[in-house]
Structure 1
Amino acid sequence: MSTLSPAAVAAATPTDRNRVVDLLRVAALSVVVLGHWLVAVVVVRDGALETGAVLDRATWTHPLTWVFQVMPVFFLVGGYANGLSWRRARQRGDGATDWLRARLCRLLVPVVPLLLLWVGLVLVADAAGVDRAALRTASQVALVPTWFLAAYVVVCALAPLTLRLWERHGWASVVVALALGGVVDVVSLTVGPWWVGFANYVVVWGAVHQLGYAWLDGRVGGTRRRLGLAAVGGAGLVTLVALAPYPVSMIGLDGAAVNNSYPTRVTLGFLGLLQAGVVLAAEPVLRRVTARDRVWWLTVVLGRRMMSVYLWHLTVMVLLVGAAMLLGGPGLGVEPLSGVWWATRPLWWGVLAVATAGVVALVGAAEDVRPAAGPSGAWRPVAATVLGCGGLGVMAARGLVGTDGLSWWWALLPLAGVALLSGRTAGRAARPAWR
């Protein structure tokens, strides 16, 4: 596909495709990848590796997370894409089971190579006597991206239901979801238990997902209305941060009493309103940008492998840091947040980008796998959702090494979910992804 000329790719793209959706998806995941590489603080002092995060060392960066915490944009795009896809499936007479099976396959199959690698690494490294604390940190950092996948899998599984809610109740479904997210936070932060807050991985991100339906149906048309949506989100976010115990940073902080992202808080729902309003106000400009053949070609090329880039970018970073330590720590001696450190960040990005591209070239074909056509019980996608979400969620929180020993078997849950989705056979995508 990448060998086709920009003009050929543009000509093969349906005229009714909203190219801005694809552009925002690629842009959002790119920002996440570059952001993760930037905030990671890795330095060698006296032969010992020290790790941390920029956000924990420099409070002046916290307001910047209102721009760089872009997962709300991805859920906005997901709502648009899932709503369009499910409606087309209904028109063809396809059932929710087959639609969900195909959707989950696209999300869960790409994670299989990553999990197999880390299970193998953990078992081999532990047998070789590698410190388990180091293994726990490495696997936890590398598998952080799976938190998003766990939440998105559930939101996608509920798309037929949430789209029906949108079609019947419109904006009320968004308002009620945000209100419910606030109630969940109150319970979690006061009477407890604190883990009640994990319900907002579905409630709050589901509310942002509803905004994608509004975009799809033209219910947030016009620049004035879109900027109004951004103003509502911004006002709500400022109010919550100023009057409630929510921190300024929209990305989790180590040791913070309250985090906005672990578990997800209602603040991220209002951040979703803010960001949705801003990017939708820019849609006319973005349409003109994506109308250029070269821009669209690049969007298509990156888009076909963006999930693999997202899943593997921290694994690549962890492995490169590990390899550097084995060689004595070259390149890891620069003092974090110093002028030299900031000046070398583009070089850091470049090295990681090249290495990630190489890895994705090897494993990216997993994104093209689709379930074979054929009968499939409704229990399969439901079970795959539970297994995938459960396993990925636990691994995102603790990696594959717990305080009480190895816990690699959590990886078996999403792998079992993929096996259920595959059925008897699995096939490759029959046509280019941009179609």
Structure 2
Amino acid sequence: MSSGPSAERDRAVDALRAIAICGVVLGHWLVTAVVVSGDTIRVASPLRAVPWLAPASWLFQTLALFFFVGGLVATRPRPGKAGLAATGARPEVRQAGAVANRGSRDVAIGALKVADGAAGDQGGPGDQSGRSGRDDRGGRNERGGRDDRGGENGRGRQGARRGYGRWLTGRLERLFRPVLVLVAVWSGLVIAATVWTYVTAASPSVDDSASGWAGFVDHLAVAVRSHTVLKLVASPLWFLLVFAALTMARPLVARLHPGWPLAVVAAVDLGRFGLGAPAWIGWVNLAAGWLVPFCLGAAWSKGRFRARGSAWFMLLGGAGATVVLTRWFGYPVSMVGVPGQGISNLNPPTLAAVTFGIAQCGAALLLMPVLHRLMRRDRPWRMVTAVNLSAMTIFLWHQTSLLAVTLLTPAPLSGLHTAPEGPSWLFARLLWLPVFAVVLSGCWVLFRRHERRRPAGRPARDTPIDAPSDRRARNKHRGEEHCSEDHCGDDHCGDDHCGNDHCGDDHCGNDHCGDDQCGDERGSGHAKELRPLADASPGIRP
């Protein structure tokens, strides 16, 4: 990966996503106790035994940051191939789009004019003008282009729809491809446990009296098939379903004010807790609640929160509303679910969870300058990139890692199999965290390759492409096929490739492709291709 900062990539956004992932993982590992006692396996939480620890859950409930960053990346303009190609622009215009990613807006406009002039010299009834590309404001001109005869061709909107379809298909594939691996592995485990139980006629309960290897396998087979274990394994999937639904609604979300879903959440809670409405109506908040930070991210992509006063208002207003709701309106203080508690702030989301998420979004905006400075350093940036490269693997397998350590370790051990009854249990659990991390690292080694699909027809890394006539094919391989396949990590979370849009613009023409991802030099061929285009117009330099 590139050690130096990239002008195109917003590394602070990557850092926010890494913070959110680590917060979720650590939060689950700290507050989830799988208690094995006699013939039962159940889940308990130290927050029930030690209520004064509930405010600490505010540090680890970082789901709102996922949706905040997801809304930002899903709705911001795409100046590169994903945007220009969607309007039916010619390859010359797409090259100009690549220049736009490395230069200023004026440079991009000048390059578009040069591309149109070059096409005009060639002539032909099918040649299109640059109006199918970008206007002076840097946005897409969806009116389509006109040919030399002045006829409207209408390819712009059709291309835009096709571009959105390809974008959505790729996004959903990147989200759910690792899920299929998780489902396949656990399905195999359940089938194997069922066969073992049938063959050995094991009792459908956890039998502590059993001894030896057969007894241990009997114990493990019953545990793997238990509802408690399977529910923990599947618990990350609800997030992906909601995130995918909001992603599919990108055209609507881009135009929706965050106040509307916030009003829906407030009305649903008023009905549930104040007017005696049925409890099932609360599940409306599963979409409306997380739509609030998603819409805030969409507003962020439009430059709505440039003033620090907006961020402070979100932070203080959201935190103040959360305190009021938990102090005087009966909402739980814990921002994570607590088994046995009457009301959960997450299942489904409540107004308190949403106001807390708004406060998190404000804190994230205030933290951005600090993250920008920190991400200029090589080591923090490499750590953030490592997390983003394997975000889905970490997110999907962290509960499996917890269960593997718990079920494969002889019971009972404090902080692992025992019920959390006080601060001593929490201290013991802290000692188990490195063990969970080691097992998760093993899952990472085994399954991370499923996050990135090898493009069809991609040549081997050591395949020479030396002929000058193959340079365009090499750039296509690097910029289109290679970069469309989740290579830089952010797409693993469902949030746009690399955290910015330049990956659609022949990725290897930018500095970012020094990331040991392409197996070649840093896009020198692409830069040489652009040089004649730039030399044709004074003031444009590749």
> TM-score, normalised on structure 1?
0.76
Aligned position for 2:228 = 137
Q: Which amino acid aligns with 1:10?
A: S
Residues of 2 paired with 1:210 and 1:91: CA distance?
A: 25
- Give me the whole-angstrom Cα distance separating, in 2, the residues matched to 1:364 and 1:217: 34
Partner of 2:268: 184
C-alpha contact 1:102 1:370 (8 A) present in aligned 2 = no
Could you tell which deviates more after superposition, 182-191 or 290-299?
Answer: 182-191
Take 1:87 and 1:268, find their aligned partners in 2: how far apart are those partners? 35
Question: Is the CA contact (8 Å cut-off) linking 1:184 and 1:196 kept in structure 2?
Answer: yes
Distance 1:203 1:215 in 2: 18
Task: Give the whole-Å Cα distance in 2 for the aligned partners of 1:208 and 1:428.
Answer: 27
Partner of 2:85: 92
Which position in structure 2 is the counterpart of 1:193? 278
Q: 5 Å matches for 1:164-175? A: 164-165=255-256, 173-175=257-259
2:191 maps to what in 1?
123
Counterpart residue number, 2:451: 367
Q: C-alpha separation between the residues in 1 aligned to 2:20 and 2:486?
A: 27
Deviation at 1:248, TM superposition (A): 1.4
Distance 1:178 1:193 in 2: 20
1:253 to 321, 335, 338: 338
Q: CA deviation at 1:41?
A: 2.3
Residue deviations 1:281-333, cap 9 Å, x none? 12111110011122111111121102111100101211221111xx4545646
Asked if the contact 2:233–2:399 (Cα under 8 Å) also holds between the matched residues in 1, the reply is yes
User: Distance in 1 between the 2:283 and 2:50 partners?
Assistant: 28
Amino acid of the residue matched to residue 181 of structure 1? V
Within 2, Cα distance between the matches of 1:92 and 1:62? Answer: 50
Q: Is residue 251–residue 259 contact of structure 1 (8 Å, CA) maintained in 2?
A: yes
- Structure number with larger C-alpha Rg: 2
Corresponding residue of 1:18: 10
Structure 1 residue 357 and structure 2 residue 349: aligned?
no
**Which secondary structure state, in structure 2, belongs to the residue aligned with residue 92 of structure 1?**
helix
Matching residue of 1:386: none
Letter of the 2:176 partner, please give it. Answer: L
Supply the distance in 2 between the matched residues of 1:81 and 1:10 (Cα, whole angstroms).
23
Q: Work out which of the residue numbers 254, 262, 285 in structure 2 matches 1:163.
A: 254
Q: Distance in 1 between matches of 2:346 and 2:439?
A: 28
Amino acid of the residue matched to residue 186 of structure 1?
A: L
1:81 counterpart residue number: 73
C-alpha contact (below 8 Å) 2:332/2:345 kept by paired residues: yes
- Partner SS state of residue 109, structure 1: helix
Distance 1:255-1:79 versus aligned 2 partners, 3 A rule = same
In structure 2, which of residues 345, 355, 364 is the aligned counterpart of residue 279 of structure 1? 364
Please name the residue that 1:418 is paired with. Answer: none
Residue among 223, 243, 246 paired with 1:152: 243
Q: Answer yes or no: is the 8 Å Cα contact 1:55–1:61 preserved in 2.
A: yes
CA deviation digits over 1:17-42, x for unaligned, max 9?
21111111111111110111111224
Alpha-carbon separation, structure 2, partners of 1:241 and 1:91: 49
Q: Displacement of 1:82 after TM fit? A: 1.1
Q: Is this contact kept in 2: 1:226–1:280, CA < 8 A?
A: yes
- Residues 245-289 of structure 1, C-alpha deviations (whole Å, 9 max, x = no match): 421111122232221111112222211211111121121111100
Q: Distance in 2 between matches of 1:47 and 1:256?
A: 24
**Does structure 1 conserve the Cα–Cα contact (< 8 Å) formed by 2:335 and 2:353?**
yes
Scaled by the length of structure 2, the TM-score of the pair is: 0.62
Corresponding residue number in structure 2 for 1:383: none
Q: Deviations over 1:41-94 (max 9, x none)?
A: 245567976641112221112222223211011111111111237676444314
Of 116-125 and 71-80, deviating more is 116-125
* DSSP-derived class of the 2:44 partner: strand
Alpha-carbon distance change, 307 to 135 in structure 1, aligned in 2, over 3 angstroms: same
Q: Which deviates more, 283-292 or 245-254? A: 245-254
Q: Which residue of 2 aligns with 1:102?
A: 170
Identity value in percent: 31
1:429 aligned to 477, 480, 485, which one?
A: 485
Q: CA RMSD in A?
A: 2.8
Separation of aligned partners in 2, 1:204 and 1:333:
34
Number of the residue aligned with 1:415? none
The structure with the largest helix share of the pair is 1
Size of the alignment, in residue pairs?
A: 366
**Worse-matched range after superposition: 37-46 or 297-306:** 37-46
Q: Which runs of 5+ in 2 are unaligned?
A: 87-159, 198-203, 206-221, 458-481, 490-497, 504-542
- 1:104 deviation in Å? 0.7
- Using CA pairs under 8 Å that are at least 6 residues apart, name the structure with larger relative contact order, 1 or 2: 1
Q: Quick one: structure 1 residues 86 and 104, their matched pair in 2 at CA, closer, same or farther if it must change by over 3 Å?
A: farther
CA distance in 2: counterparts of 1:363 and 1:322, whole angstroms: 21
Q: Counterpart of 1:359 in structure 2: which amino acid?
A: C
SS in structure 1 opposite 2:226? helix
